[in-house]
């Protein structure tokens, strides 16, 4: 899963990236903001650890999230507004977006607009993304119109439906309304997917607070969630600077420090949890040879499609899946014992994989 990190200059975007990835990318100014940084995070998974211990696996492979810290938007915008082609390409390929918005006050890091106003900055980013989508939609409409006019009657109908949908999308974008909040049918969403529209992508709003507000994080998060959370949008508040510093400590030292600060959990962990919820992802597991591995798929994924996540040949040659809940397999001790007890289920290609399933895929 690839997530693009976006934000306006000096919002602490790269600081948050370092906190999430335990990275050491340069922070603190416009010069650092013209680079792209990439980091991979292995998702902490207690279930995987228990399964690996049960099966005495030599290797436990967790799910991964790849974060792409992109140059600050207004620092790369062209004269007409909107992200640069480099940033657009990376954003289009991302599965979702993290928008870092600043609420912290620092005299040595003045806000480019001269004042701290997170709601203004959120609106500005929405406009940037909407302008990028508007350019894509207008270009497609311009190219599609003559093709539809020259089409045969049977082909013309499909083209006219596409144009009507794009006109509706264009109207929403001109009103600066993100598409993720619009009412679209499953068929319409599928039709728009090929355009990789940015305002249609799920977005996690990361409210970056100052250390002086660390004890108020829960209240700040609730305030922003009330205003912004909804379809395709989630909110997390954290102190990026503090989380970056804690990432350099051991787990025990970081835990003690959080206790002293009155923090009940790690902001980085909440980012991962909210990301999985936002993206509608679940985790299933496989035990093959000496490896126990976690895989992520969208909620509602059928078994045959989940097999393709492991290998395309498994999806093509899918015969059936043996499935059991992770807690059940821990109770049985082995797949052989689960078969003996009758708790290992045989499922067909249409079986909807459940979060925590341990799957054994049989394929030709």
Q: Has residue 229 got a pLDDT over 50?
A: yes
User: Residues for the chain: how many in total?
Assistant: 364
Are 61 and 51 contacting, i.e. CB atoms less than 8 angstroms apart? no
Strands 233-238 and 203-208: parallel
For the chain, the domains span 2-44+63-147+166-278, 300-363
CA geometry: angle 9, 12, 17, nearest 5 deg: 115
| Buried b / exposed e along 296-307 (16+ C-beta atoms within 10 A) | bbeeebbbbbbb
Tell me the per-residue pLDDT of 105-151, one tens digit each, with 9 for 90 and over. 988 888 888 899 999 999 999 998 999 999 999 999 988 888 888 88
Between 153 and 232, where is the model more confident? 232
Residues 6+ apart with CB under 8 A from 275: 1, 3, 65, 96, 98, 204, 234
Query: How far apart (Å, rounded) are the C-alpha atoms in residues 187 and 360?
Result: 32
**Reduced to 3 states, what is the DSSP secondary structure of residue 265?**
coil
Candidate from 71-75, 121-125, 319-323 with smallest mean pLDDT? 71-75
DSSP 263: -
Q: Are 285 and 319 in contact, with CB atoms under 8 Å apart?
A: no
Q: What is the mean pLDDT of residues 247-260?
A: 79
Summary mean pLDDT of the chain: 88
The highest-level CATH class for domain 300-363 is alpha beta
Superfamily, domain 2-44+63-147+166-278: P-loop containing nucleotide triphosphate hydrolases (3.40.50.300)
The pLDDT tens digits for 51-63 are 999 999 999 999 9
Per-residue HEC secondary structure of 193-238 comes to HCCCCHHHCCEEEEEECCHHHHHHHHHHHHHHHHHHCECCEEEEEE
- Cα 103 to its chain centre, rounded Å, is 22
The pTM of the whole model exceeds 0.75: yes
Per the CB < 8 A criterion, the answer to whether 50 and 330 are in contact is: yes
């Amino acid at each position: 899963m690839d997530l693009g990190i976006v934000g306006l200059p000096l919002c602490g975007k790269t600081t948050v990236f370092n906190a999430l990835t335990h990275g050491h990318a340069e922070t603190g100014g416009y010069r650092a903001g013209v680079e792209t940084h990439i980091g991979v995070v292995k998702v902490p998974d207690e279930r995987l650890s228990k399964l690996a211990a049960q099966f005495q696996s030599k290797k436990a492979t967790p799910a991964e999230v790849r974060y792409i810290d992109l140059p600050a938007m207004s620092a790369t915008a062209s004269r007409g507004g909107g992200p640069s082609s480099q940033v657009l390409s990376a954003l289009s390929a991302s599965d979702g977006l993290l928008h870092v918005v600043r609420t912290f006050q620092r005299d040595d890091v003045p806000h480019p607009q001269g004042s701290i106003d997170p709601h203004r900055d959120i609106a500005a980013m929405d406009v940037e993304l909407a302008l990028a989508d508007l350019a894509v939609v207008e270009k497609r409409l311009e190219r599609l119109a003559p093709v539809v006019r020259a089409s045969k009657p049977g082909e013309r109908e499909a083209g006219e439906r596409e144009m009507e949908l794009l006109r509706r999308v264009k109207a929403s974008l001109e009103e600066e309304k993100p598409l993720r909040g619009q009412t679209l049918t499953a068929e319409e969403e599928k039709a728009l997917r090929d355009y990789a529209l940015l305002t249609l992508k799920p977005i996690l709003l990361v409210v970056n607070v100052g250390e002086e507000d660390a004890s108020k994080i829960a209240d700040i998060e609730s305030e922003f969630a009330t205003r912004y959370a909804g379809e395709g949008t989630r909110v997390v508040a954290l102190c990026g600077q503090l989380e970056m510093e804690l990432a350099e400590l051991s787990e025990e030292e970081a835990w003690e420090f959080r206790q002293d600060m009155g923090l009940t959990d790690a902001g980085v962990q909440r980012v991962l949890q909210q990301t999985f919820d936002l993206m509608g992802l679940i985790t299933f597991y496989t035990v093959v040879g000496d490896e126990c591995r976690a895989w992520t798929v969208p909620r509602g994924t059928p078994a045959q499609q989940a097999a393709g996540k492991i290998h395309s040949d498994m999806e093509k040659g899918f015969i059936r899946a043996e499935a059991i809940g992770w807690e059940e397999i821990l109770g049985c001790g082995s797949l052989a014992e689960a078969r003996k007890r009758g708790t290992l289920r045989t499922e067909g290609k249409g079986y909807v994989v459940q979060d925590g399933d341990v799957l054994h895929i049989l394929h030709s």
